[in-house]
Chains A and B, each alone.
Chain A
Amino acid sequence: MTDNLSRELLAMMHDQLVAAYPNEGGGFLLGREEHGRATILEITPVHNIFPEAEQYHRYAMTPQDWMRLEDEADARGLTLLGFYHSHPDSPAVPSEYDRVHALPNFIYIIVSVLKTDPVETRVWRLLEDRSRFDEYALEVTQG
């Protein structure tokens, strides 16, 4: 399966996550999904509420952020498609912590950041039985 987002949105995401280094950054993905293929139309950075000393390997957002973004997506006829976050100095693969906190039918984009370089961007979805993530292809479109 393939999800897609524009080169411009990907660059915005990378800029945010590089700026957050050496801490983790993240945000929500909004867009549309048809026949299991998601088109990401907007990214919304969200503040990391983990204590500063833990932010190098942990990221969390408030329930109020979820409610605000989900209400906005519902009102605009968009779908809250997923969540992105960075793994500073670590591979762009989900950790056990990621799996335990994940939901199926939700896109998890993970960006590996090494200092000033977003070296790898990968897309994952949790299997229905919650046992592991499956990797999806990411198509980066022009514009």
Chain B
Amino acid sequence: MASIKIPTPLRQYTGGQAEVTISGRTVGEGLHDLVRQYPALGPHIYEDGVRRGFVNVFLGSEDIRFLQDEDTPLAPDSKLRIVPAIAGG
């Protein structure tokens, strides 16, 4: 199954797990499966059903925005990673 690495501050919502397995044919389906398994993650990833702007998702070393975003196909050995865009002002 595909897996996704969880950023440190959000691991509290995955029982402390740094990496969890997800299912889905696309990155978007995989992210929704993640939130289905760990609902408390939802408000920090989505706002009104849309992925928050500071939530970057990488497939390997590629930002999915430069692939097919959430339509990017997932393979059984795909490794995703959530990387928050850290910014202040």
Contact of B8 among A57, A61, A70, A129 (CB under 8 A): A70
Q: A3-11, A77-85, A115-123, A134-142: which lies at the B interface?
A: A77-85
For A38-62 the 0/1 string (1 means CB < 8 A from B) is 0000000000001000000111110
CB nearest neighbor in B for A100: B54
**Residues in B neighbouring A103, C-beta threshold 8 A:** 7, 9-10, 44, 84
Q: Is the CB of B9 within 8 A of A105?
A: yes
* Residues on the A chain within 8 Å of B86, using CB: 60-61, 65-66, 83, 101
From known contacts A73-B8, A101-B54, A105-B9, infer whether A60 and B85 are also in contact, taking CB-CB under 8 Å. yes
Within 95-143 of A, Cβ neighbours of B (below 8 Å) are at 95, 97-98, 100-101, 103-106, 108, 110, 129-130
Q: How many residues on chain B are close to A (CB under 8 Å)?
A: 20
Contact B10 A105 (CB under 8 A): yes
Return the 3 tightest CB-CB contacts between A and B, nearest first.
Answer: A106-B9, A60-B87, A97-B89
Interface residues, chain B, with chain A CB atoms under 8 Å away? 7-10, 12, 18, 43-44, 54, 56, 58, 63, 81, 83-89
Selected A-B contacts with CB under 8 Å, 29 pairs: A24-B89, A26-B88, A58-B89, A59-B87, A59-B88, A60-B85, A63-B83, A63-B85, A66-B83, A66-B86, A70-B7, A70-B8, A79-B8, A80-B8, A80-B9, A83-B86, A95-B88, A97-B87, A101-B54, A101-B86, A101-B87, A103-B9, A103-B44, A104-B9, A105-B9, A106-B8, A106-B9, A110-B88, A129-B43
List chain A positions with a Cβ less than 8 A from chain B: 24, 26, 50, 57-61, 63, 65-67, 70, 73-74, 79-80, 83, 85, 95, 97-98, 100-101, 103-106, 108, 110, 129-130
